[in-house]
Amino acid sequence: MRRFDEKVLILGLSKSGVAAARYLNRHGADIFITESSNQKDSQLVKELESEGIKVEIGGHSDYFIKDACLAVASPGIPPESEIFSMLKERRIPVISEIELAYKETKKPFIAITGTNGKTTTVTLTSEILCSELKAPACGNIGVPPISLADEDNDCYVCEVSSFQMQTTNAFQAQIACFTNFTPDHINWHGSLEKYFEAKAKLFLPPCEPAFSVLNGADEKLLEFSKRLNNVFLFAKEVEDNCCYEKNDAIYFKRNGVEEEIIKLKDCTLVGEHNYQNIMCSIIVAKLVGISNENIRKVISTFKAPEHRLEFVRNYAGADFYNDSKATNPEAAIVAIKSFNDKKVALIAGGRDKNTDLKEFCDEVKKHISTVLLIGEASERFEKNLKENGFDNIILEDTMENAIDKAIEMKHDVVLLSPACASFDMFDSYEHRGEVFKNYVLSKS
């Protein structure tokens, strides 16, 4: 690791910002953290200051900014924020925490982005690679890669968000994966095209990876793949370099050689979206050189991350699934389509993102018996469902009441897949999922 002896500015007291500050501080930099909000953990600020890190909250002063040789930005700071203009005026370069980690570790990164499926794919890929290598999962899943930079790892499996790519310009993954693309975060990026451009940066010069892995079942990504080199597609059988499903199994093809990797019945993850996540992970594992035996072993025992179509328990004849991470209609659709020939009660609703509900309503009509709505979006969801010919809708005030009503109505599956943000009733999607799970598990 290089030794820093200059002033570095950290933008924001996020988990990744704090991790970058502590890493750089250990390596000799003079660290200043500037945070626009004044609603930050005072205990954390005291801890950082005791480590010799300077912190200001509630604004960005010239004293903190001047003479910095570099600024490291926390993800989620809007691109139009005043701080970026201030830094540009002073010609202070801005990088992301993942770019800092890439430069410091000098080890290969497997970068995984997409609208949905990132966390499951990152976690599964890391577990497969860890059967033979040191390949920790990191990034937007809650572990800043810079916090692992002092470890002796072989590579890093990193979840990359569009927010992080906003300030990333010199990060070159060995393998970059694009799980899918659907509308989300439009308010933050300003348009759907800008949202796509932020993610696409991961695959284009100067960030172009050695290998690009994309979802061939996604029309936008299939078209985008034509602009790239060394492409592997999953969820679509093509002439070469692909991973696909046929004959109730998953196959991998490279250099004209096809091999069966695993039977679908041996996969612990269920649903077409999860088979796509598995296929993406298989391509990465094969490119890295992991044996088929170890790939099969991990996939056949893998447990889905919390709040992502997570099986909770069977109670009163129904299987309960927690898919609280489904914070947009597209993610909920994926879960809804996972249960064929079952009587399914769907618990949905929350803080409305004002997304288009047409496809969501169409899939509800095909797969769902009862919809129980909670939260601020209830009325708009009810209106759209009824306009699309679905009437078996119940509005409830609380998660607990919705669960009780679903049990009373005797379903095969009770699925929490809200299609909305959580902040109207809960602290986060994790909190929402915990409330669902705890209440279901309390039943006896």
pLDDT in tens, 424-444: 999 999 999 999 999 999 998
Each as own residue / partner, the long-range contacts of residues 386-393 (CB below 8 Å, 24 or more positions apart, any chain) are 387/361, 388/358, 388/361, 388/362, 388/364, 389/365, 390/361, 390/364, 390/365
> Of 202, 30, 230, which is closest to residue 99 (Cα–Cα)?
202
For the chain, give the longest Cα–Cα distance.
66
Please state the length of the chain.
444
* Predicted pLDDT at 117: 84
Domains and CATH numbers, the chain: 7-92 (3.40.50.720), 99-299 (3.40.1190.10), 310-442 (3.90.190.20)
For 111-121, give one letter per residue: b (16+ CB within 10 A) or e: bbbbbbbbbbb
Mean pLDDT of 221-235: 97
CB neighbours (10 Å) of residue 389?
A: 10
Per DSSP, the three-state class of 193 is: helix
Q: Name residue 310's amino acid.
A: E
CB neighbours (10 Å) of residue 356?
A: 11
Look at residue 187 and tell me whether its pLDDT is greater than 70: no
- What's the pTM? 0.80
Please report, rounded to a whole number, the percentage of residues in the chain having pLDDT higher than 90: 80
* Predicted pLDDT at 188: 55
Q: How far is CA 265 from CA 278, 300, 384, in A?
A: 13, 9, 37
Angle at 95 between CA 89 and CA 101, to 5 degrees: 160
* Predicted pLDDT at 340: 80
Mean pLDDT of 391-418: 98
- What is the C-alpha to C-alpha distance for residues 335 and 268, in angstroms, rounded to an integer? 15
Q: Which residues have a Cβ under 8 Å from the Cβ of 206 and sit 6 or more positions away?
A: 169, 170, 172
Mean pLDDT of 267-285: 93
Mean pLDDT of 201-205: 96
* Predicted pLDDT at 104: 95
* Predicted pLDDT at 306: 87
pLDDT in tens, 111-162: 999 988 898 999 999 999 999 999 999 998 889 999 999 999 999 999 998 8
Three-state SS annotation for 374-430: CCCCHHHHHHHHHHCCCCCEEECCCHHHHHHHHHHCCCCEEEECCCCECCCCCCCHH
Look at residue 252 and tell me whether its pLDDT is greater than 80: yes
